[in-house]
Structure formats: C-alpha cells, structure tokens
Amino acid sequence: MNDNSSKALAKNKPSNFLMRNPENELKFKSILKNILPYIGTDEGKIILTEVMIALKIEGVIGKQLSKNDSKMVKIVKESILAIPTKKQEALSFAQNLLIKPEVNKIG
C-alpha cells in the first residue's frame, strides 16, 4: 500500500481498528466493552483480548486455536507491545470504550 492510499484509508476508518465492515466494528466494540472489566489492568492481557476478538470476528481464527493460530496471535500481540505508539493506541482504545456510556447497538 502506498503512502497516499494509507492516508486515505486512515481518514475513512471509524477507529484505530480496521474491520471489513461497520457491523464487525460495532460487534468488536460491544464484545470488548463487555469483557474488559474482567481483564484487569494488565496491558498484555488487554491487547491480547483485542487481538483475539478482532481475529475471531474477522474469521481468521475459529473456535479452537491451532498451534499456528496461537503463534500468530502471540506475534501480533508482541508486535503491538513492542511499538510504543501502537501499544498506546490499543490501550487508549480500550480505555475509551470503558469511559463511553454505550456502544452503538448492532442491527
């Protein structure tokens, strides 16, 4: 993807996460908002939860995680944690969901 198309894409996306369709975006937010109170404040767990929910909703992973799925999830999580700006974006996204009174309902 070239720099111009990246900028255009960034202008059109509703949040820090790029889902295939708006319904998936709302579903992601709703599920994450319901799960976050049980996760605690561990940054790794919060980001792991975001990654797993996004991959599940997008159909990348199924009900049972294969060894390859587990490796992929770990790599994605660790890559987010390794880049301070991405880590902060993911944590801020989760924090903002907890602050907002209600996530838009689906359908």
pTM score, whole prediction:
0.76
Q: Are 50 and 89 spatial neighbours (Cβ–Cβ below 8 Å)?
A: no
Two structure tokens written together for 22: 């708006």
Match 């903002």 to its residue by tokens. Answer: 96
Per-residue pLDDT tens over the stretch 4-52: 333 333 333 334 556 778 899 999 999 999 999 999 999 999 999 999 9
Q: Are 61 and 52 spatial neighbours (Cβ–Cβ below 8 Å)?
A: yes
Per-residue pLDDT tens over the stretch 57-87: 999 998 899 999 999 999 999 999 999 999 9
Alpha-carbon separation of residue 89 from 5, 8, 26, 96 (angstroms) = 21, 19, 18, 10
* Rounded-to-integer distance, Cα 93 and Cα 26, Å: 13
